[in-house]
Structure 1
């Protein structure tokens, strides 16, 4: 089977990471994935949006189209007032697809809310990670100067204040109230309205901005930390959270988006309840309340760590994800 998956690969980013893992997983099962359009292909798999010429090319040749959809745009997203315009390519791709793969139940809810209800068949498939690479055991970065230091970490592409400011505030509360000897390690690039945060907020040996770290080197950072912090608004299925779980890293986050589907409060992490959906008005987070959940995790970290790792093994392995995709692919190509 030849799958055409139009993707512009970059060194980092969830879409590129998925594309590489997906291609490698299918290659191991004697299928091939092409990122540039080949002369002949059996399926078109597309991310959130797809160039119109590829959609029309597949339709003209009666090639099945699978739409892999994570999130959509809404007034409080990065699209701001242009959210309807940004949603149009997603709306069009979804309407032309023969099957939709939602990355979470929350992803489907958002699509139905902002792209409209459709009756196209769909499957829910969570992202998967290589639990042989992302695991608690292995080389670790020297992030702590002594065994008593608490180390928190976050990884993302930071574009909005809600993705970073509450973390900094909560960390400072934790440091002042619960454990003075601690560090926050922040990995990723900063863009847009938060581009200046590394220069503004960096504190040597306390709040460290490490920039972009290649995905194959990320496990060494994750397994060196105590807990993963994450306050993104309405995440559809954050791969970085699943990678943290696989490394046995408890997740301290917010109970919105797909987070309640990924993280079990009291087991693999702690999620702070929030009011409203954050679609139309800003969401306010209490840094002190986040600090309380950080403290709760650190009081019983071994339990949380073991549950986090087991959750990844039970639900988010790469093999499980690939097999789910393959089930959908073969169902749409019964004659191959």
Structure 2
């Protein structure tokens, strides 16, 4: 993939994310945007055409980053928040160790490798600057964007007429993130006795079967499990609900929120400041 003139004009994006969740969604949209604008995307940091590496959060390929720095490549780190739930309540030994290891990688790249840091929001920047001070690399805030050609109020919808639908959209709900689902169920359960028609919670995303079963037993008939859906289906799902519940307590800049707002869907979240 070396440029014909020998220039290094390609961008390498690490890690190679696939599947569910905000980072993977962001990477796929970014790659599509680069290609639409004629910006080549390298698959490996050692590609001779690679001139800059974008690290989405963190990566375990620290040796590749250090080698790239020695070759004069610029490294940009895009930062969200950090793992914190495991420090507030017990989520299991494996989850605790994985969360601490990931936080260390995020902080090490930010402190010792990155030439520039892009924070997803002022909230994320303040969080990192409070917890991990002394970073020399300059930083800036770039909020998540949304494709208004895809996410808009115009388009097909199937808004239910016999009940109010609260929508919850997350990549994964489990492994320490169960509280968001619990709060969504509690909100729905509280509202169902106050409205003029039934209220149901529609959950879009990967939910462990054990967790589903527990909520079905404690709140039968309250939750509609949509499971994992294609990203192209999300706009219609947004337009087919009455309100979105943002389940992530400390979301730095959640994609599900900006996408819902673009579709005209009101959002309910936490008053955390």
Q: Match of 1:116?
A: 133
Q: Match of 1:294?
A: none
The one of 24, 27, 37 aligned to 2:35: 27
The one of 188, 193, 196 aligned to 2:210: 196
1:67 Cα deviation (Å)? 0.6
* Count of aligned residue pairs for this structure pair: 251
CA distance in 2, matches of 1:204, 1:8: 39
Instruction: Find out whether 1:14 has 2:22 as its counterpart.
Output: yes
The one of 44, 55, 58 aligned to 1:46: 55
Q: Match of 2:12?
A: 4
Q: Match of 2:270?
A: 254
Instruction: Find out whether 1:137 has 2:154 as its counterpart.
Output: yes
The correspondence of residues 202-241 of structure 1 with structure 2, limited to 5 A, is: 202=216, 206-241=222-257
Give a deviation string over 1:45-88, Cα, whole Å, max 9, x none: 10111211221121111111101111112323865477544321
Q: Match of 1:293?
A: none
Give the number of the structure whose residues are more often helix, by fraction.
Answer: 1
The correspondence of residues 153-168 of structure 1 with structure 2, limited to 5 A, is: 153-156=167-170, 157-159=172-174, 160-168=177-185
Q: Match of 2:201?
A: 184
1:225 Cα deviation (Å)? 0.6
Give the number of the structure whose residues are more often strand, by fraction.
Answer: 2
1:87–1:115 Cα contact (<8 Å) kept: no
TM-score (norm 2): 0.84
CA distance in 1, matches of 2:255, 2:108: 25
TM-score (norm 1): 0.69
CA distance in 2, matches of 1:104, 1:170: 27
1:12–1:214 Cα contact (<8 Å) kept: no
5+ long unaligned stretches in structure 2 = 1-8
The one of 52, 66, 74 aligned to 1:56: 66
1:154–1:185 Cα contact (<8 Å) kept: yes
1:7–1:19 Cα contact (<8 Å) kept: no
1:243 Cα deviation (Å)? 1.1
Please state whether the residue corresponding to 1:233 is helix, strand or coil: coil
